[in-house]
A and B are shown apart, each in its own frame.
Chain A
Amino acid sequence: MFKRNKILSVIVGIVAILGIASFMVPSNALTATAKTTIELWLNKPQAKVNGETRWIDDTNHSVTPISKWGRTLLPVRFISENFGLVTLWDAKESKVTVMQGGELAGTISEAGSTSVLPLAEKFALAFMKKHPKVRISYTGGGTGAGIKQSAGGTVDIGAASRDLKISEPDLMVHAIARDGVAIIVNKGIGITGLTIDQLGKIYAGQVTDWKDVGGKSGKINVYTREEGSGTRDTFQSMVLDPAGLKMSPACLAKKSNGEIQMSVQSDPNGIGYVSFGYTEGVKGLLLNGKEPTIENVKNGSYPISRRLYFLTKHNDNLLVQAFIAFCRSDEGQKIVSQEGYIQLAD
């Protein structure tokens, strides 16, 4: 969670039960009335929350409960966030704050990837419903904008649909969901699927007519995202790079998922790639025979997916922390699947 300047969690011993640690909130007896049950094993990076297996830190699989000084030390954020508590890490003072209850109030501003946009909106709505005194705003602009603005402090949270590059500012990275990239075409196009190989050739400008990939004759209008887009990076690294291809400069570029969707919807010969959330009104193609569905991404058969992230500059804003914790909690992850994205922890 504190990826990047990775302090493997401040581990604070809370309770020690050798072997298995079980928690309930509030301190009811170990009965079926428990609202949340967390099971952790020493030296195992996965835990169970209400019986479901989860990575303790899905971005760092070496985080496990450990034994020290004859005590079992557990990752405090994993524990407390799954109990719906807010955990704050103050790097300056090396201090951990865990908070329960209290009313959250204030504003959070977000900006960045348009792939994250629909999800972030739903997150915000749900969070504001829970905490009526909180206001959350989201502006798009792309992953680059998300990185830039969160690093510059103009927004509290940046949204990214790709991993940060080495040249980019050092930010706290919080995975919030996974996402597939769908290949979309106009509904009028007669083909139902492409191979990754054909797709690569289309985007490299080597195949320019639909009849060469099994469709009716017609020049393919290839839509792509602008340089720097997270979705484009994903597409590039998963479709073009493996085949050693370059994206043709003759691709028609658009600034957002929505614009690609709109263009393909109105262009009878259009093809584009978008986040799974943007497939309404267009046809999502089978890729290597696999439908663009969440199941297929989960089971690894659908070939193009990536993680979506929230980025923050510091970890010291209680409200922002609480919001991100909410997004990563069970409740938040439910929204993730409702919105057609893919939950983190599996």
Chain B
Amino acid sequence: MSKHEQFSEKLGKSLIFIFASISLLILLSIVFFIFRDGFLAFKENGFFHFIFGHDWNVQDNTFSVLPLIVGSLVVTIGALLFSVPIGFSCAVFLAEIAPEKVRNIVKPAIDILVGIPSVVFGLLGMILLVPYIRDHYGGPGLSILAAIIVLILMILPTIIAQAEDSIRSVPSSFKNASLAMGATHLQTIWNVILPCAKSGLVSSVMLASGRAIGEAMAIYMVIGNTFTFPKSLIDPSRTLTSNIVGQIEEAAVGGTHLHALFGCGLILLFIVFILNSYSFFIKRRGCRSC
């Protein structure tokens, strides 16, 4: 290696190191701030009360978030319950079954859908879905059902696009091996292609659930934002994120209200952390059997 090459090699490495450190630092400071103010919420309201209570009142200065946690989980799980099977089926269809021509039209369309800002879905939900639910199923229309449908529309393209990519990236040699042994196409998809694409599929679900649980604005527009537990699909409720988005601007600086909102953020962070570790675990297990 010439002097010059050595120098640019070093320079490159140190630049990468610097950028990596900066982004890590930013990440850590974000986490630090959420923790700092979030912990205050736990301290001020009591750990168990904050998580398991169900009152949120600025005047009485009491805050607790169980209905929000329930709302967030119900809406996210509800959306995943539908969009994962639908999304995977679409992905399989596109990657394995659809003729090239169909794929060439549908795939770019889905990629575009992935990029649509979620507020747009929220707006559509508010204008079309909410009145529809109100007129046909009762209640105020603003409901977890509306939120779930909005989320499904929002995350379905993400799941399809990601899952399709991961299915298509399964080496064709695996597929050939299976078919040459006399497996049918469906058997091959089920027994070889899907298991091989598992890690990518899990990623797609994780990405989608991340989007779902983290979505604030679109959900805020359609879920009704009551501070109550939903008892049926047409009941309104409130999620951790929509709570933050609804109140952060009105909360007095440095007050317990603001801390409580940070507490919501902290809980969200925790849920996302669990999700990610779980997906990491699934992927690791997936690799071992591969």
Contact = CB atoms under 8 A, between A and B. Distances in A.
Tell whether any CB of A sits under 8 Å from a CB of B in the complex.
yes
B225 A227 contact: no
Given A251-B226, A252-B140, A267-B134, A141 B249 contact: yes
A147 B257 CA distance: 15
Interface in B110-130: 130
Given A249-B228, A252-B142, A266-B131, A228 B253 contact: no
Interface in A165-186: 165, 167-169
Nearest to B223: A252
Contact of B141 (A148, A236, A267): A267
A183 B130 CA distance: 23
Contacts of B140: 221, 252, 267, 269-270
Given A228-B250, A253-B238, A254-B225, 8 more contacts: A165-B252, A167-B255, A227-B251, A227-B257, A250-B227, A253-B246, A267-B140, A269-B140
A229 B131 CA distance: 26
Given A254-B225, A267-B141, A249 B251 contact: no
Nearest to B254: A167
Given A227-B56, A252-B236, A167 B252 contact: yes
A189 B159 CA distance: 44
A249 B64 CA distance: 12
**Number of contact residues on A: which range applies?**
20 to 34
A117 to B, nearest CB: 13
A252 B224 contact: yes
7 contacts: A144-B250, A145-B249, A227-B257, A228-B58, A228-B251, A249-B227, A252-B226
A277 interface: no
Contact of B226 (A168, A253, A263, A269): A253
B228 A144 contact: no
Interface of A: 141-145, 147-148, 151-152, 165, 167-169, 219, 221, 226-229, 236, 246, 249-255, 263, 266-267, 269-270
Q: Is the interface of B mostly helix, strand, loop or mixed?
A: loop
Interface in B209-229: 220, 224-228
Contact of A228 (B139, B224, B252): B252
Interface string B249-269: 111111101000000000000
Contacts of B57: 227, 246
Contacts of A229: 250
Contacts of B228: 249-250
A219 B56 CA distance: 24
A145 B55 CA distance: 23
A251 B224 CA distance: 8
Contacts of A144: 247, 249-252
B243 to A, nearest CB: 9
A250 B55 CA distance: 11
A313 to B, nearest CB: 13
B249 A250 contact: no
A142 B226 contact: no
A142 to B, nearest CB: 4
B60 to A, nearest CB: 8
B59 interface: yes
Interface string B131-161: 1001000011110000000000000000000
B226 A145 contact: no
B245 to A, nearest CB: 8
Nearest to A152: B253
Contacts of A254: 225
A227 B252 contact: no
A255 B255 contact: no
Contacts of B226: 249-253
Nearest to A221: B140
A202 to B, nearest CB: 14
Contacts of A266: 130-131
A250 B139 CA distance: 12
Given A144-B250, A145-B250, A255-B246, A228 B257 contact: yes
B227 A228 contact: no
Contacts of B142: 252, 263
B255 A226 contact: no
Nearest to A111: B249
Contacts of B56: 227, 249
Q: Taking each of B54, B58, B236, which has the highest tally of chain A beta carbons within 10 Å of its own beta carbon?
A: B58
Contacts of B227: 249-250, 253
A219 B220 CA distance: 22
A332 B255 CA distance: 35
A236 B134 CA distance: 28
